[in-house]
């Protein structure tokens, strides 16, 4: 052993690096995750972990198994992990990120790198132009042609759009590191981002561009101009950096934020240091980012805001597939400043997860009553996410539903049914006297399952007649209703509920995604049920009183 033993931060850093490379090497997500968890743990351990390792006590730390312990011992004894060094020799994160960006599998890309002895985009381009790609086993004329074309074209779109809960933190962390502003699709709260951008004001662009290139999140820069660069993350997600002259910051921000259709419709953009100045010079009212979609020019109304929301009406607990107890969910909601929270656990016919029957719902009612005594004046509502069965009947008897404060009705299985089947199923469910709100109406799972075929117009018409509500579900992979459907619902006169469908106390934080999606659909506080005080919510629990 040379030098002092590595401190906890250094050990954690090495384990993180190991986890990232294991992931790139295709070791399976479980192994990488175990190393990341160990790294987090070691970082937050107050005692020097190197000593524990020396004394053979590393396993006393939770989550450290024999595999990780062996590496820790190696690291403490020799100052390095041999396998990590090997992986670092073999795997170029730049190539992995590029592969994902170009639509070539990481495995294939790393093989190309190994065979050709290249580690960067520059070297890869050179080798490709020299016609050496075909030296790689498995790369035939077809793949070579494709690779050459993609290398020349430099596609901008992410191979797979990034969900909002990942896209926003990603641009925000980069913006913060560079002292800039997050832009692109995430600034408009687009459900799945294709275009991520950061705009920085800079007299001198070079230092900013260099800082950008050196960020840990950016593994390759595929385009570089005097005031612009396109970087790629290890996941292959492209991020555009714009280093704007300070007097043009507003101009570049408007350009980097709006959809291409929206920006195009504005015509030539005037120069201004801030966005307000751009709109003033254009002679049109300021438009919040969420509404900067195809050609919106009107005077926006005051949109719903997170602070308007007084409660969450769709959450789960350990009674079904949630992680927190009734009381813990209530406490977390109260800490968020809410006045009320509806506990809406699943019912039995969902099948895939545990659900409550009539008896379960009633027993849960007692626990909710107890929790309410401890949480008053905050109120937990007795609710359900009642499954809509295949025949359109509800999965709880009417007398139980009638006791509840809030009934979310949801279609789960059978999302691939025909338009006729699904519409009939939902409309039949709405015949019940005891429905408050229709949950995640299109059943979509972004990047996994397309929206179902339900006739939303017919459903909205019925809900409007009944004075019942429809949900904007805030789970990042649902966001259902989506923006344009929120607009349709509002136009049909249907009240909106913004919900998180939280399965943990942390999940309550997704309210900002539900709110943003409602804003993209033009929703105001008046359009939304859970901006109202509790008595008003209860008064309309089964439709317009
Ligand atoms: Zn559901
Ligand atoms: Zn749910």
What percentage of residues in the chain have a pLDDT greater than 70?
98
pLDDT tens, 362-377? 999 999 999 999 999 9
Residue 315 CA, ligand 1 centroid: distance in Å: 10
Name the region of 488 (left: φ>0; alpha: ψ -120 to 50; beta: rest): alpha
Identify the CA nearest to 166 among candidates 191, 197, 198.
Answer: 191
Domain boundaries, the chain: 8-89, 92-153, 162-291, 306-539
Q: Are domains 8-89 and 306-539 of this chain identical in fold?
A: no
Ligand nearest to the CA of 410: 1
Q: Which residues pair with 382 in a beta bridge?
A: 343
Q: What pTM does this model have? A: 0.82
Task: Answer whether 256's CB lies under 8 Å from 240's CB.
Answer: yes
Yes or no: domain 162-291 corresponds to CATH 1.10.10.10: no
Tell me the CA–centroid distance for residue 510 and ligand 2, in Å.
13
How many angstroms separate the alpha carbon of residue 201 from the centre of ligand 2? 43
CB 516 within 8 A of CB 306: no
> What distance in angstroms lies between residue 427's CA and the mean position of ligand 1's atoms?
17
Choosing among 3.20.20.140, 3.20.19.10, 3.40.50.300, 3.40.190.10, the CATH entry for 306-539 is 3.20.20.140
Yes or no: say if 356 and 364 are a contact pair by the CB < 8 Å rule.
yes
CA of 347 from ligand 1 middle (Å) equals 10
Higher pLDDT, 351 or 227: 227
- 232: Cβ–Cβ under 8 A, 6 or more apart, which residues? 97, 98, 100, 101, 218, 219, 220, 221, 222, 238, 239
Helix (H/G/I), strand (E/B), else coil: 261: helix
Q: Taking the domain 8-89, which CATH number applies?
A: 1.10.150.110
What's the confidence (pLDDT) of residue 1? 46
Q: What is the pLDDT of residues 286-316, one digit of tens each?
A: 999 999 998 777 788 899 999 999 999 999 9
How large a percentage of the chain has pLDDT more than 90? 69
pLDDT in tens, 409-460: 999 999 999 999 999 999 999 999 999 999 999 999 998 999 999 999 999 9
Task: Tell me how far the alpha carbon of residue 320 lies from the centroid of ligand 2, in angstroms.
Answer: 10
Please give the pLDDT value at position 159: 62
Ligand nearest to the CA of 384: 2
């Amino acid at each position: 052993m040379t030098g002092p033993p590595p401190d906890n931060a250094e050990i954690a850093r090495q384990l993180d690096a190991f986890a990232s490379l294991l992931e790139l090497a295709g070791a399976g997500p479980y192994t990488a995750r175990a190393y990341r968890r160990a790294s987090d743990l070691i970082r937050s351990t107050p005692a020097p972990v190197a000593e524990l390792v020396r004394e053979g006590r590393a396993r006393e730390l939770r989550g450290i198994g024999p595999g990780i312990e062996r590496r820790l011992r190696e690291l403490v004894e020799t100052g390095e992990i041999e396998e990590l060094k090997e992986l670092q020799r073999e795997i170029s994160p730049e190539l992995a990120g590029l592969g994902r960006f170009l639509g070539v599998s990481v495995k294939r890309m790393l093989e190309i790198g190994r065979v050709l002895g290249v580690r960067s985009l520059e070297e890869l381009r050179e080798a490709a132009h020299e016609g050496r790609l075909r030296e790689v086993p498995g790369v035939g004329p077809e793949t070579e042609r494709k690779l050459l074309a993609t290398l020349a074209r430099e596609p901008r779109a992410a191979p797979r759009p990034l969900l909002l809960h990942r896209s926003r933190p990603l641009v925000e962390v980069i913006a913060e590191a560079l002292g800039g502003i997050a832009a692109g699709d995430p600034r408009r709260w687009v459900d799945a981002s294709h275009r991520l951008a950061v705009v920085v004001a800079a007299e001198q662009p070079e230092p900013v561009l260099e800082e950008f290139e050196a960020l840990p999140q950016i593994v390759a820069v595929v385009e570089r101009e005097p005031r612009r660069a396109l970087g790629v993350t290890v996941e292959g997600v492209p991020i555009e950096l714009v280093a704007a002259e300070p007097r043009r910051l507003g101009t570049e921000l408007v350009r980097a934020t709006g959809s291409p259709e929206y920006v195009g419709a504005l015509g030539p953009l005037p120069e201004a240091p801030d966005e307000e100045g751009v709109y003033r010079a254009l002679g049109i009212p300021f438009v919040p980012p969420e509404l900067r979609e195809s050609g919106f020019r009107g005077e926006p109304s005051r949109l719903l805001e997170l602070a308007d929301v007084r409660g969450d009406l769709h959450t789960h607990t350990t009674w079904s597939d949630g992680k927190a107890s009734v009381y813990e969910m209530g406490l977390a909601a109260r800490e968020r400043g809410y006045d009320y929270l509806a506990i809406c656990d699943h019912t039995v016919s969902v099948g895939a997860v545990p659900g409550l029957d009539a008896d379960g719902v009633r027993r849960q009612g007692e626990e909710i009553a107890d929790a309410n005594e401890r949480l008053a004046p905050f109120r937990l509502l007795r609710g359900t996410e009642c499954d809509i069965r295949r025949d359109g009947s509800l999965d709880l008897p009417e007398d139980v539903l009638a006791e509840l404060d809030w009934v979310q009705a949801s279609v789960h299985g059978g999302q691939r049914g025909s338009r006729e089947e699904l519409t009939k199923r939902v409309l039949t469910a709405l015949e019940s006297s005891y429905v408050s709100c229709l949950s995640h109406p299109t059943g979509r799972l972004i990047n996994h399952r397309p929206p179902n075929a339900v006739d939303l117009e017919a459903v909205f018409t019925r809900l409007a007649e009944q004075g019942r509500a429809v949900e904007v579900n805030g789970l990042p992979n649902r966001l259902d209703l989506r923006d344009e459907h929120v607009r349709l619902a509002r136009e049909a006169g249907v009240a909106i509920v913004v919900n998180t469908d939280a399965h943990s106390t942390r999940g309550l934080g997704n309210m900002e995604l539900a709110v943003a999606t409602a804003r993209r659909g033009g929703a105001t506080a008046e359009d939304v049920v859970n901006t109202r005080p509790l008595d008003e919510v209860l008064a309309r629990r089964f439709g317009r009183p």
